[in-house]
Structure 1
């Protein structure tokens, strides 16, 4: 029986090294779950929404422990922090809760095409305090 060609051994070695690389290992690890504080902030936000206006059932998924699994919510796979909230175009009605201030890592917030207002009936000023939002 002949030994395998060198090129095959090198290819096999590369495959083993690639599979054992930290990047490859990180991809196989489960994503981090959201923090309890951020989960509570989103649930407080949900309280301000008239549930009957959620005809698409977007907020129906907002009941499990891991808010990173909720529709419209995106979290960092590494930290579990909520980094995006996209509720665009769901015709939601209600009040934008200051609880969003408890999402300090939020980078993207899209509440457009809804009927959401702040406590004073307009876009709330406190949204300007979300310092990580990217425009």
Structure 2
């Protein structure tokens, strides 16, 4: 559906919007959330000490001093939950690989005698056409 809208769109903005919508949907499906971190900010020294005391030493991953009166304290999460259905993203990726390979074998291989597959990305193939 988005591919059809992208093909029919007349401006670059419309084309980019359709591509962005498709990519952002896919990216939300493959996001696990395991690398997310929690950061607390302290303006005063006593706030920093209170955060450190509250979260204990083992939860603190590090501190970042942004300025003389702003400190960021990075916290580890004790429990990490996978709350996204990231397997849907992998299914989308596998289906797209099937479409790409099908295109390679049904179009390229039948059209060009000397086509050679050199590599691939998630949405493209790198091919070599020999004389």
What band does the TM-score fall into relative to the shorter chain? under 0.3
TM-score under structure 1 length normalisation: 0.25
TM-score under structure 2 length normalisation: 0.26
